[in-house]
Amino acid sequence: AETMLGRWKNHVGQEIEVFQEFRLLTAEVISRTAFGSSYLQGFEMLMKLSSLLVNFDLKLKLPGIRISIDDIVDECKSFYFAGQETVNTLLSWTVFLLALHNDWQEEARKEVLQLFGKETPNPNDLSKLKTMSMIINESLRLYSPILYVTRSIERTVRLGKLIVPADVELIIPFLAIQHDLQFWGQDAHLFKPDRFSEGVAKATNNNMATFIPFGMGPRNCVGLHFGTT
Ligand code: HEM
């Protein structure tokens, strides 16, 4: 983030294509944290692993884990995609919303300055940024980086009043649920971070399934905290 902000200092008073900037940032962050290398080195490693398989037509199994090298390469790709595009999208929409809503931009700036002054924000105190987390939640609600997930039904199940037969694909549309007037009120389409001022439970009337940008249940997002940090 420091490197990116340093670059921005050369563009004072000019427009910046933030989506591209955040793409570089998030690619670098996920590479360094998940793979301990820069973006380019990380991809080089993936390419080497992949070509190992193509060249030797090997289905290598790692001892003790039933998982082949091509499974690992697939997992690495998932991590890159899951950890990069999502946060890139979240950052871009959030900056866009703050550009439209100057009052919230001011509030956010005030909070950061109060907590950190001129210091670079440190990881331990990031969780104290209450206004910022309200803004992030509202951004996630309005412009969920993931629009929906699907679930395959293996055997007939009852979901409330619904009986869903086996072999059906269910789509759980986050965006529709998070914009539903029935749950969020007549102002559902407006940017109002205040809804989250007393936490997610209060904002959702204890119906946590109405705010699920990271999914829900045992297969929800493993990068939830990392992503919002
Ligand atoms: C704003 C950021 C993010 C959003 C909105 C997001 C959203 C999601 C959603 C909706 C799912 C599917 C959950 C489900 O099927 O119920 C998911 C899964 C996943 N996410 Fe994220 N994600 C974010 C950031 C990240 C980051 C930073 C990482 C990695 C460091 C990550 C790694 C994963 C992985 C590996 C899965 C698959 C989990 C599984 O199938 O068990 N995500 N994410």
pLDDT in tens, 104-114: 999 999 999 99
Distance CA 17, CA 19 (A): 6
Residue 58 neighbours by CB under 8 Å, 6+ apart: 52, 69
Q: How far is the CA of 174 from the centre of ligand 1 (A)?
A: 13
Amino acid identity, position 37: S
- Token representation of residue 126: 């990031």
pLDDT at res. 81: 84
Ranges of the chain whose pLDDT falls below 70: 39-40, 42-65
pLDDT at res. 70: 81
Up-side HSE of residue 39: CA atoms within 13 Å toward CB?
12
pLDDT at res. 83: 85
Distance CA 74, CA 76 (A): 5
pTM: 0.89
Nearest to 138 by CA among 192, 205, 200: 192
Using one digit for the tens of pLDDT, what is the confidence trace for 9-47? 999 999 999 999 999 999 888 888 887 777 667 666 666
List the binding residues.
221
DSSP-derived letter for residue 88 is H
Amino acid identity, position 91: L
List the binding residues for heme.
221
The C-alpha angle 55, 68, 64, rounded to 5 degrees, equals 135
Up-side HSE of residue 8: CA atoms within 13 Å toward CB?
13
Q: How far is the CA of 208 from the centre of ligand 1 (A)?
A: 17
Question: Which atom of ligand 1 sits closest to the CA of residue 212?
Answer: 10
pLDDT at res. 169: 96
- Token representation of residue 62: 């790692």
pLDDT at res. 66: 82
Q: How far is the CA of 220 from the centre of ligand 1 (A)?
A: 7
Distance CA 98, CA 134 (A): 12
Distance CA 199, CA 137 (A): 10
Which residues line ligand 1 at a C-beta cut-off of 6 Å?
A: 34, 78-79, 82-83, 86-87, 90, 145-146, 149, 213-216, 219-223, 226-227
Residue nearest to atom 9 of ligand 1 (CA): 214
Distance CA 92, CA 82 (A): 16
Q: What is the sign of the dihedral through the CA atoms of 225, 112, 120 and 37?
A: positive
Residue nearest to atom 36 of ligand 1 (CA): 221
Query: Best substitution site from 214, 216, 225 to test ligand 1's pocket, by max atoms within 8 Å of Cβ?
Result: 214
